[in-house]
Structure 1
Amino acid sequence: MPAYTVANATPAPQTLPTPGADAWVMPLGGTIRIAESDGDLALAMPIASGVPFPVTNGASGLRYVSDGSASVIVRMQDKL
């Protein structure tokens, strides 16, 4: 299953890679938020450590941050 290189989430917004297929994004060791724009990040529902979040094939420009001050490991891989 192809995986993507994703930088750890920090309090500064970053952009997720554009998946070539439907994919899962999963934080490890903390909580993150994912949204379509920086302004929506504060309103986005937190995604807990170990919980996969679905990302649709071709979704581009999605922004993500850690939900707090700590750096959080983020993994992204295609769905089976």
Structure 2
Amino acid sequence: MNWLTDWKFILLLNMAVGWIKASAAVYDIIETCKANQINPENYLLYLFQHLPNETKFPDRDVLDRYMPWNPEI
């Protein structure tokens, strides 16, 4: 292999790892919703509608308000 094919392989590997981490995060969110008797689709829509409006994101107090186990959700 030359440096160009090595570079492409490393790039593809990093992209795959990023995709795997993102998929795992979404899976975790969905399973946490199920464990808390929350509809995952409605919860994700709620997050997409409300999180962009937060000014102190990703402050821990802000994130705690959006966790599936929060009774206000």
Is the pair's TM-score, using the shorter chain for normalization, greater than 0.5? no
Larger radius of gyration, structure 1 or 2?
2
TM-score (norm 1): 0.22
TM-score (norm 2): 0.23
Q: Which has the higher helix share?
A: 2
Q: Which has the higher strand share?
A: 1
Higher relative contact order (CA 8 A, sep 6+): 1
